[in-house]
Every structure is written in C-alpha cells, then in structure tokens.
A and B are shown apart, each in its own frame.
Chain A
Amino acid sequence: MIGYYISLALRSLRSTPILSALMVAAIAVGVGAAMTTLTLNYMMSRNALAEKNEVLYAVQLDSWSATNGVDNSSEMPWQVTYQDAVRLLRSDIPSNQVAMHRWGGPITLENSEIRPFIADARVTSRDFFALFDVPFIYGGTWTAEADNNPVQQIVLSEKTNDRLFGGENSVGRSVNFNGAAFTVVGVTEHWQPSPKVHDLNNGHFNDSAEIFLPFGLHRQFEIYPWGNTNGWKSEEINSYEDRLNSDMVWLQYWVQLDSAEQVERYGDFLTGYIREQKAQGRFPRPLKFGLSHPSEWLTLNEVVDGDDRMLSWLSLAFLLVCLVNAVALLLAKFLRKAPEAGVRRALGASRQSVFSQHLVESGCVGLAGGLVGILLTLAGLGLIRQLQMGYMDRVAAMDWAMMLAAIGLAVLSSLLAGLYPAWRISRTNPSIYLKTQ
C-alpha cells in the first residue's frame, strides 16, 4: 500500500511543480538553518575524553585574593600556581596526574636542509600520555627523573616527526629546540581533541601541541608560558625563581582517580594541603577546591557560548516559520485536489487511507526538503568556516550522524506539517464532488 501511496504522491507533486518546489524549498531552508546551528552546537559540545570521563578530573584550587574573586566573581581560578603544581605532583594517590602548560619555540635539525620553524609545545609531567590516552607510534614518554630535573628529552607529534624525519622512527635521534639539543624518546599518533578540553585557555578549537617537553626544564630555560598568566596581588618579582614561587596561576592540572575510594582520599589530601598552606598565610579565601569531569569542565568553561545558543534558538524559530509555511502550502495543495480525494472516498477508500496517502505525500516533500537541506547546511557551515577565518574548521563540519539527523528532522517536521492538511482532506464529503463532476 505504501508503495502505491508513494507513486500517487510523486504523481501529485509532479502535477503542481511550482507549489511542490515551494514546499520543498520551505522545508529545505528551515532544515538548513536549523541544522547549521545545531551541527555547530553538537560539534562544540563534543567531549573528546568521553571514554575516560568518569575517572578524569580537572583540579582547581581557590588560591585567590581574600577581597575579590577571579574576574570579580566568586569563581575559582582556572589554573594553578607553579608552587602548588609541584607540591601536588608529590601525591601518590592519583593513578595518573598531569601539571602542564603551553609553550613553544624554534625547532630544527643539525646539518639539515629543513628550515627552522616554530613548534607549539606542551610542557608537561610524564603521565600526560597515559592520562589522556595519547597513543605512541614509536617509543614512549620520558623518564620519571625528567619531571623534576632538566633532562633534554622530547616527544614529537606525528606531524612534526613527518616534517623533521619524513615519518621514520626517530627515537634516539637529536633535534635542536630553542637552541639546545634534545633526544627524541617518542612519537605520538595524531591527537587532536576538539574542543581541546585538556587546555581551554586561548581558544577552544585550536591545534594541539606539535611537541611535548618534560616538566623539569623550567629553571634551565626560564620558561614563560604561551598562555594566560593571571595574578591578583602585587609581588616583588626580581628573578625567575621569584616567579616560580609567586601566586600567579599559569598551569593546568589534571588527575585520574579510578575508584570512589581514591576520589575520597584525594579530596582529603587537597583539604589537608590547603589547610597546611593556610597555616603559612596563603589561600586567604574559604577552603575550596574543584574536581571536574571533562564534561563538567567543558560546561564550566562555556565552550558553547551565548552567541551559539542564541543562534540555535533563533534557527529553531526560523524552522517553525518554515513549518507554518509548509502547513499553509500543503493545505492549499490538498484542498485543490479535494475532488480527487472525493472520488477516492466514493470508490470506497476509507478516511484513514486518504489520510495516510496525504501524509505519505507530506513525507515525500520532507525527504526532498531534507536532501536539499543537507546541501544548504553544508553551504551554511562553509560560510561559517570562512567567517571564522580558519578557527572553526574542525567544528563547522557535518558527520554522517548529523546528515541522518537532517533527513530525520526534515521528514519529522514535514509529517507534523502534514497532519492537519491530511486530516482535513480525509474529512472530504464525497457527495459534493460527485455532484459537480
């Protein structure tokens, strides 16, 4: 029966090409607008660490000023100080823990034709790869010693290894970074979380690091982070050591806690640590720390911001207008064919079958609208990529799930739009049309 309805629907749609095209266009434009913003929101709210979401925690310590909170709110600072990071790293409770920040510098090979280039670096403790599940192609992380002492070891990303060594196994080879020789100990597979939940400072969708460096190098290279540094009190900084011991925050801190018992112990550890610091005159605010799962961290950092959410509301309102439009047009179209329906009814078709026939017709309009809608969504996302000047390339892209969702949305909304017109036509009184014909 469905097959027969579909062929009836197609014939009916062909008989009024302009009206049909208008309906398909209305649905397509509505779906295109809605799916463009929904795709953006969907891609922006993805959690690259979803698989380990339950065991990973971003750590926040409220080390801020007694008088005003961060940005004059009551929130905790997003990052931690160097001195706190170093002390937290001594805890043996977490299964894995990472203190890290962004850095960078010129990288090159000795006696090579390759032109030096600036590599984006992540200075981190060695658990980084285990905690975030970053797979290695060659080698592995550096020695434990390198987290506390200057050891010139380096891990390259796949892309950097391709660029410097043509993709060969470079473990044991030497590269020149920032004027010093580093030994390659590992090469990671391509790893690009988007949004880059592990460090949401300075943009949510930028590229991940190209090289990884051990945490013990700060004093040797007097590393100043390529990220945000925030302070709240006037501190006399006369040397790099002063800076490391200051109350400025500039590091991200993550822990992996596998069991509830571990979480509890770690909470006790942090409480104890803050008490100890309070005794020394630090942490003037009420005792407070934060342990947020990656999903919570993304929400806290407002990766999907007000503009994005406003656009989704607006595009849903837009879709509503397009639907009302489609209802009006479907009604017009069905009523014009009332005589035909009258004849079908007179020949014995039940109200229900007239109703389903017309609903199938609406569904066909929706399907066509959905297909055109996908094209419009792709065009809309292309426009956004261009307007965002490369920043959103990974986010403003459609995957298969979103394409199916587009079709689903189109068919569902066209069925909804068809409900009233189909019901109305199924109520046709056959006798009127039999008389006039």
Chain B
Amino acid sequence: MLELRPILSALWRHKVSALLIALQLGLTLAIVSNALVVIDERSERISRPTGLAVEDINSFSFLAIPEDYDKFEAFRLDLDMIRSLPGVASATISNHVPLSGSGSASGFYTEPNKETGGISANYYTVDEHFIDALGMKLTAGRGFSPEEVMQVGATSSERPTVAVVTQKFADEVFPEGNALGKAFFLGGDDHPIEVVGIVERNLGPWPNSSVAGRGVFYPAIMDQWFYYIVRAEPGQRDAVLKLVEEKLAERDPNRVINADTMEEQKAQQYASDNTMIKVLASVVILLTFIVALGIVGLTVFWITQRQKQIGVRRALGATRSAISRYFLLENLIIAVTGIALGAAAAQVFNGFLASEFNQPALPPIVTISCALFLLGVSLAAALVPALRAANISPATATRSV
C-alpha cells in the first residue's frame, strides 16, 4: 500500500480524465442496476404459470356467410367431427379464448342484490369438456355434465345455476375458505350460482390486467361469441391446426374460418414486456461494452504518456508486477470512487422511475452485484494495458524522446 500516495498524486494531475471514467462507471451502474430490476420484474411476469396447456392448444372460430345460419347445429357437427380427428386430445367451445386479449369480465358478489363492493373476474361459457380441453387441473369438486350445458343467445336472460371457479377467485371471494358448495351472485341480482368445482389456475384473457387469474366458468354455449378450443396430443399441434382448419372448411364451405395457436396469442399478450426485456438487455450489454472500451482507451493513453516514467521506475529496480499492480490499483481507485457515486445515483434514478413510471424498488443486493460486476469489468479492461506496461524496457528511461 506504499504505492497509494504516488498514485493519488499522479491521479490528481489527470483529475479530469479520471473523473470522466469514474462518472461513466457511476452512470452505468445507475442505468444497469435499474434496467436489471425492470428486466427481472417483466421476466417474472411472463413466466407466471398460466394453468393451461399453452403449447398444445389451437383455437378456431368462423363467420358464416348466409344471414340465417343455424349456429348451434353447426357447433354440434363441428365438435363431433373435430373430436374424431387423429391427434386431437380434447375439444370444447367457449365464448373467449384465454390469453387471447379478448374476453369478458363482470362483478361478482357474495350477497344478493348488491351493486358495489364486488370482485371483478373474467367469465367464460364452456361445454362439459372444458377442463380437459384447456389442460387445466381440477383441484376440488366436479366439472359439468352434458345435461347442465345450456344454449344461450346473445340477449338470453337465462342464468346458470352452477359454476366452476379458479382457486384465486375462490380465495378472494370466499376468504373464509371452503368455497365449494357456496353461492355467489351477479350485481343487482338475487339468483344464486353455486360453486361446484375449483380449478387450480387460469390466467384469463388479459394476463397483465388486475383481474388476471380470477376466472368463472359457466356451463353454456353462446352463439354470439364462440371459439372451438382444441388441445392436440403433445407434438401434434401444428398438424392438428392445419387438419381442423381444412376439415371445418370442407364440412361447410359457407363460412370463413380463423385459426390461432395459443402460444402465438400468449406471445402477443406479452409482446411489450418482451420488447422491454430485449431492449433493456441490449442497453445493459452495449453500455458495459462501451464503458470497457473507454477504460481500455484511457489506460492505454495514460501508459503511453507515462512511458518514460515507467522506464525510470523499472531502471530504479521496480519489478514488472509492481508496474502492473500500479496501474490496476490506480484503476481500482477510480472505479471504486465512480461506483460509490453510482450506487447513490442508482437510488435517485430508481426513485424517479418508481414515482413516474411505477417501476419496482431497487433492492440493495442488485446494486451490490452490479457494482461488483462493473468493478470486475473495469479491472479486466485495465488488465491487458497494465500487463503491456510491464513490458516497457528500462532502457526507455535513457532515451530522450
């Protein structure tokens, strides 16, 4: 540590350049640590379990060309046909497809005739095959029987008497537990709907909304909004997509068919989170790279400037490792200064992001790991020039230029 004094006095002579490097490291720490927090939050969001067999599911809908089209008859024929196709594991019909961005939500109450204080949740109308077709897991109670499934038009006022709900819905609407067998109500209505089954999970149509995960399933088929949800045997999804699309058109050419994979729809729902992750990751990588290059550039410059002094030191008996150590120590002093400033800046920047854009708080562990990482990058960037400096011959000292 004897070298500390000469290093400090040498740094003082190059205070602007040293400060610029420290500033870069500090700003980088502030940006990188905050970017990592956002990346972490978004990745966690995307990797939440959906409760669905996302990789195996296709959905289909059609629009009929003639005006007076018997849709309920078409549903029956289509579903019978789809279920008989090779590679199809299960199929149901629903008013909406989970993770598709299109859905319905309503308020639910534990007491009749209430208008305020309910819990909003997504609701689906489905036939008796829905648990299997969506790849969900029934954790309590039962699914629907074919006799329970009603046929309803868009303006039908018929209401279901039973429902299957998600665990999250059950926990939030009936916090005292034992939701099975209990009844809930629609707003301003006195018709009880009994919970007959609970499924583990279903993220719903809008995974980034506040209702995500609260789901209610009714045994009903609607002719206004409908999708066939078809789960394929593992690995058969794309073949089934093509086959079902073809067969639907073949069974009745008087309509236009639309087909989607659930995986693609899920990706669409998370497109902006995914963009954020990729863009921020590029920023982190580029920034680290730029800062490292800047450190290499400046260290090389300092060494060329001090070539003569290095030669003198070597001539006076300093070892090679003493020369390298000198430059690494110098770099360490600058880096630690910058990173200490950066840690403070990171907190300020995080405060701004949290208040302006609702971003998560920056945990100290992230700042510390980023700081250590940047310290490593800084030393690594200085290492090669510092080792090269050790090769400067003592004879340099004797030359005049």
Contact = CB atoms under 8 A, between A and B. Distances in A.
Nearest to B61: A118
Interface stretch (B80-88, B130-138, B236-244, B268-276): B268-276
B17 A328 contact: yes
Nearest to B253: A116
Contacts of B66: 179
B290 A242 contact: no
A389 B20 contact: no
B358 A234 contact: no
A173 B280 CA distance: 53
B188 A233 contact: yes
Contact of A19 (B157, B255, B297, B305): B297
Interface in B153-181: 154-157
A331 B17 contact: yes
Contacts of A329: 294, 297-298
A332 B63 CA distance: 69
B24 A332 contact: no
Given A26-B294, A178-B67, A243 B155 contact: yes
Contacts of A239: 155
Interface in B340-365: 349, 352-353, 356-359
A168 interface: no
Interface string A10-42: 000000000100100110011001000000000
A336 B301 contact: yes
B23 A324 contact: yes
Interface string A99-113: 000001110100000
A74 interface: no
Q: Kindly state the interface size class of chain B when it binds its partner.
A: 35 or more
A315 interface: yes
Contact of B24 (A178, A310, A324, A384): A324
A233 B107 CA distance: 10
A389 B63 contact: no
Given A26-B294, A234-B189, A420-B16, A332 B301 contact: yes
A328 B35 contact: no
Contacts of A176: 65
A67 interface: yes
A225 B301 CA distance: 68
B68 interface: yes
B115 A233 contact: yes
A234 B186 contact: yes
B276 A29 contact: no
Nearest to B276: A307
Contact of A314 (B64, B283, B293): B283
A398 interface: no
B372 interface: no
A317 interface: yes
Interface stretch (B26-34, B141-149, B323-331, B381-389): B26-34
Given A325-B291, A387-B278, A106 B65 contact: yes
B187 interface: yes
A171 interface: no
Given A306-B357, A307-B276, A328 B21 contact: yes
B9 interface: no
Contacts of B275: 384, 387-388
B258 interface: yes
A243 B155 CA distance: 8
B240 to A, nearest CB: 22
A174 B84 CA distance: 40
Nearest to A234: B188
Given A116-B256, A224-B224, A328-B20, A311 B304 contact: no
A48 to B, nearest CB: 22
Contacts of A432: none
Interface string B64-75: 111111000000
A218 B101 CA distance: 26
Given A22-B294, A179-B68, A327-B20, A118 B301 contact: no
Interface string A300-337: 00000011011101110110111011011101110110
Given A321-B24, A383-B278, A336 B305 contact: yes
A29 B290 contact: yes
Nearest to A33: B283
B366 interface: no
Nearest to A315: B283
Contacts of A178: 65, 67
Contacts of A436: 400-401
A48 B243 CA distance: 43
A386 B400 CA distance: 59
B7 interface: no
B116 interface: yes
Given A105-B63, A234-B188, A387-B274, A321 B358 contact: no
Nearest to B286: A29
A24 B348 CA distance: 30
Contacts of B301: 19, 332-333, 335-336
A106 B274 CA distance: 34
Contacts of A237: 155, 157
Given A176-B65, A236-B157, A317-B27, A388 B294 contact: no
A327 B294 CA distance: 10
A269 interface: no
Interface in A35-74: 65, 67-68
A36 B96 CA distance: 36
Nearest to A65: B115
A118 B258 contact: yes
A33 B27 contact: no
Contacts of B23: 324
A325 B23 CA distance: 9
Interface in A379-416: 380, 383-384, 387-389, 391
A307 B272 contact: yes
B77 interface: no
Contacts of B8: none
Contacts of B116: 67-68
Contact of B297 (A22, A33, A307): A22
A234 B282 CA distance: 49
B287 interface: yes
B279 A328 contact: no
Given A67-B115, A324-B24, A388-B275, A317 B68 contact: no
A221 B68 CA distance: 11
A306 B358 contact: yes
A331 B275 CA distance: 37
A273 interface: no
Contact of B293 (A26, A315, A336, A389): A26
B258 A314 contact: no
B294 A389 contact: no
A224 B24 contact: no
B119 interface: no
B115 A179 contact: no
15 contacts: A29-B290, A106-B256, A108-B65, A178-B67, A179-B65, A233-B115, A306-B356, A313-B353, A321-B27, A324-B20, A324-B23, A328-B297, A332-B17, A387-B274, A424-B16
Interface of A: 19, 22, 25-26, 29-30, 33, 65, 67-68, 104-106, 108, 116-118, 176, 178-180, 221-222, 224, 233-234, 236-240, 242-243, 306-307, 309-311, 313-315, 317-318, 320-322, 324-325, 327-329, 331-333, 335-336, 380, 383-384, 387-389, 391, 420, 424, 436
Question: Sorted from nearest, which 9 A-B pairs have the closest CB atoms?
Answer: A179-B67, A234-B188, A332-B301, A328-B20, A387-B275, A325-B294, A306-B357, A234-B187, A310-B357
